[in-house]
Structure 1
Amino acid sequence: MVNVKNPVHKIYYYNDEELDGAGDVGHHSAHKIRSHKNSRRHRAAAANADGKLRFEPEPYSKKLELNSSGKIHCKVAGGVSPTVQWYLNDQDPLPEGVTSANGTLVVAEAARRHAGQYTCKAVDGEDTITSKINLDVVVSPRVIEPSQGEQRHARVGSQIVLNCRATGDPLPATQWDRNRTMLKLHQDGVDAEDAVNASTARVLVLNNGTLLIRNATEQDSDRYGCIAGNAAGLARNELLLIVHPEDEMPTSESSGVGGKAVVVSISVAGAYMLLVLALMLYCRRRRLNRRQRGEKEELEMAEGREKLVEEEDKKVGNGAPAPNGRLLPHDRDSGADNSEVSAISRASKKSGQYDHLAVPRSLLVDQITLGRGEFGEVSLAKIDLCQVKKLRNKDYAETEPKMAHVLVKALTSKDEVLLAEFRRQLELFTRVRHENIARLIGLCNEMEPHCMLLEHTDWGDLKNSRMLLHDWPRTGLLIET
């Protein structure tokens, strides 16, 4: 992450033209922009002047997809220190799976039992305001007939039946379109099942969503779409209808798209099962080989220990005998102990590679939490840079405190990928030294969680400061557009 320490220059635009501060048009436009911002500030200040407890904005009802997660915010303005809490209905406790945190209603996994009326209640002393919303749990519509991309073949003069069936909660309403143009009643011979001319209409829309085409002609060949919609959204599947003359009707082999799809599906499923079986056999064989290799190594180690004991017995037998003619237990295990000590020393040496960055956590003062970041909590604190320099250089003579703000990034995650990224950022900031890039102050690693201390920048990072590089190779200026 690269941070901007100081803005360099600003350029304002009006109607896609650069404004000159000395020009009349530029002066007028800049004055208009500043006046607009000031008026908005005055309106906001006037709205907050009375201090009356109110919702900003008012909570609104929401629909959640079944088994999805969602949040409903309840923000309160005014008052001294209002507390905000959500309730089911008026004062009932929230159902399992629904929580209230800092005025936000959180649904972890929406179930049908979570649907109902919820009340946001804000209390500030004797002042109380409430707002009620409705939470609906819905299921998005899904068209099950026709299937997407289906082809239908028919003869001229035949009767064609196109079914439109869909699922969802609430039950979706269905509608047909032709080449993405809605089929409207009393248009192009289209009529409804209950209409007066239903018996004579050539294209009839039945109450169950079926489209009936009587005495089909070649002009009926087109793309027909089944649209299903409910409160959760819309779904559409399209089929291709081809009306052939009687002497050009394709054979059942060429029109059997459904049969071909079944054959392809079965083939793919069979190939997948064979692949899974091959992977299972391969993993089993690897486990068996690993087990055999481990048992062989253990056997060789045991034989080696026995030979070592026998050799030591012979040496002791030629010199001063040991009790029972064997090595003492601690002598036999000394090799293992040495290996453990060497392993510990290697681990400590590896973990100590950042000791030159170590900063005691006790130097951090006035620490406040800003939020959560990539690795865990991110907070802002103050630190005495003179004390940090004394840790790096014992001969540093300056004693007057020099307090500075630092950004504290805590590593609370145990994920290996995030641990590697944390180390990568440490190494990156250790190598990079530039006056326009935030410096790495140190690392608090005497206890968990480990914390990376970075120089705090008033203007934030390049990603969120809406700054662009302009003429960088020529001037090196940062220009705000």
Structure 2
Amino acid sequence: MGYSFQETQLPLPANVTDLNGTLIFSQVSNDQRGQYTCFASNSQGQISATVSISVVVAPKFSVPPEGPIEVTESGTAVIHCQAIGEPKPTIQWDKDLAYLNENNTDGDRFTLLENGTLEIRNVQAEDEGRYGCTIGSSAGLKRADVLLVVKSAKSASNSIVTRIIIVIICLAFLYFVLVLGLKVWYRYRRHLGKVQLEDATHAPTCDGHEHAEHEPCLTEANNSSKNLKSKLRESTILEQESQVADDIV
């Protein structure tokens, strides 16, 4: 008597071995599913039997629910949950461990999309809680949950006002720092001008020299006088700028 196995109309796939009439599957995958036929024959004839092999893959999340999710009252919450596996997993949602169904949810607000995502429109305060997504098939079950936080419209408005106030305070602080820096700079320039003015005032004169030597000294005196007038003008301008800075502060 002889035995032989083969997949219907096809040779045995990889990782499937026929050992004395027994099929051994290793590294099982979807490629090995199908119908397998066993043929037995002897001098009296041949018989066969066919068996169907199904391969199941444990479900797993392709897009798990992630959070916490914050939404304002009357807004829309979208909680994602997608899964893969063989056979295709089913998806069931629950809120605080109570399964969601048409009896305990508002069908006009709660919608389960084809890809498993849960959409909640016109969110209310009582919708807050932990939402769990359970994926399952004949290969097993898995569950993941996420916290949905519902903020009141008043709270959201207060949050916006708070942010605006913070921005205004920051701008005011930057303005103060800028003005203070200008004030320090003007005072420094005024001080520098005074020092230069004092140096020009105490410049040496031509007293005690002969008349012949007065000519170049007169030229230097004229230049010194011009420089002195220029320094006086600069000092006056600096005084005015500093006063403006003081007025701003």
TM (norm. structure 1) is: 0.29
Pairing partner for 1:115 from 33, 36, 41: 33
Partner of 2:140: 233
1:126 and 2:33 equivalent?
no
1: distance between equivalents of 2:152 and 2:15?
A: 61
1:158 and 2:65 equivalent?
no
1:104 and 2:45 equivalent?
no
Letter in 1 for 2:114: N
1:221 and 2:128 equivalent?
yes
| Structure 1 residue 88 displacement after superposition | 1.2
1: distance between equivalents of 2:13 and 2:74?
A: 60
- Unpaired segments ≥5 residues, structure 1: 1-81, 192-200, 252-481
Letter in 2 for 1:126: Q
2: distance between equivalents of 1:108 and 1:127?
A: 32
Cα distance 1:119–1:243, how it changes in 2: closer, same or farther (>3 A)?
A: same
Any conservation in 2 of the 1:170–1:230 contact (CA below 8 Å)?
yes
Residues 93-121 of structure 1: per-residue CA shift (max 9 Å, x gap):
42232102244311222344322210134
Letter in 2 for 1:181: A
SS at match of 1:158: coil
Letter in 1 for 2:15: G
Pairing partner for 1:244 from 137, 151, 174: 151
2: distance between equivalents of 1:127 and 1:202?
A: 68
Partner of 1:87: 6
Cα distance 1:138–1:216, how it changes in 2: closer, same or farther (>3 A)?
A: same
Residues 34-69 of structure 1: per-residue CA shift (max 9 Å, x gap):
xxxxxxxxxxxxxxxxxxxxxxxxxxxxxxxxxxxx
Any conservation in 1 of the 2:65–2:80 contact (CA below 8 Å)?
no
Any conservation in 1 of the 2:65–2:79 contact (CA below 8 Å)?
no
SS at match of 1:113: helix
Any conservation in 1 of the 2:13–2:32 contact (CA below 8 Å)?
yes
SS at match of 1:87: strand
2: distance between equivalents of 1:237 and 1:181?
A: 14
Aligned residues: 158
Partner of 1:205: 112
Partner of 1:144: 62
Cα distance 1:128–1:236, how it changes in 2: closer, same or farther (>3 A)?
A: farther
Letter in 1 for 2:53: L
Pairing partner for 1:167 from 73, 84, 92: 84
2: distance between equivalents of 1:207 and 1:147?
A: 15
| Structure 1 residue 84 displacement after superposition | 4.6
Any conservation in 2 of the 1:183–1:190 contact (CA below 8 Å)?
no
2: distance between equivalents of 1:159 and 1:174?
A: 21
SS at match of 2:38: strand
Any conservation in 2 of the 1:190–1:205 contact (CA below 8 Å)?
no
1: distance between equivalents of 2:126 and 2:106?
A: 14
Pairing partner for 2:104 from 171, 185, 188: 188
Cα distance 1:103–1:240, how it changes in 2: closer, same or farther (>3 A)?
A: farther
- Please list, as runs of the form range in 1=range in 2, the aligned pairs for 1:294-443 lying within 5 A after superposition: none
Structure of larger gyration radius: 2
> Equivalent pairs: percent with the same residue?
34
Cα distance 1:125–1:178, how it changes in 2: closer, same or farther (>3 A)?
A: farther
- Unpaired segments ≥5 residues, structure 2: 160-249
2: distance between equivalents of 1:234 and 1:123?
A: 44
SS at match of 2:54: strand
TM (norm. structure 2) is: 0.51
2: distance between equivalents of 1:143 and 1:89?
A: 34
- Please list, as runs of the form range in 1=range in 2, the aligned pairs for 1:39-78 lying within 5 A after superposition: none
Cα distance 1:104–1:224, how it changes in 2: closer, same or farther (>3 A)?
A: farther
Cα distance 1:154–1:173, how it changes in 2: closer, same or farther (>3 A)?
A: same
| Structure 1 residue 129 displacement after superposition | 4.6
| Structure 1 residue 231 displacement after superposition | 5.1
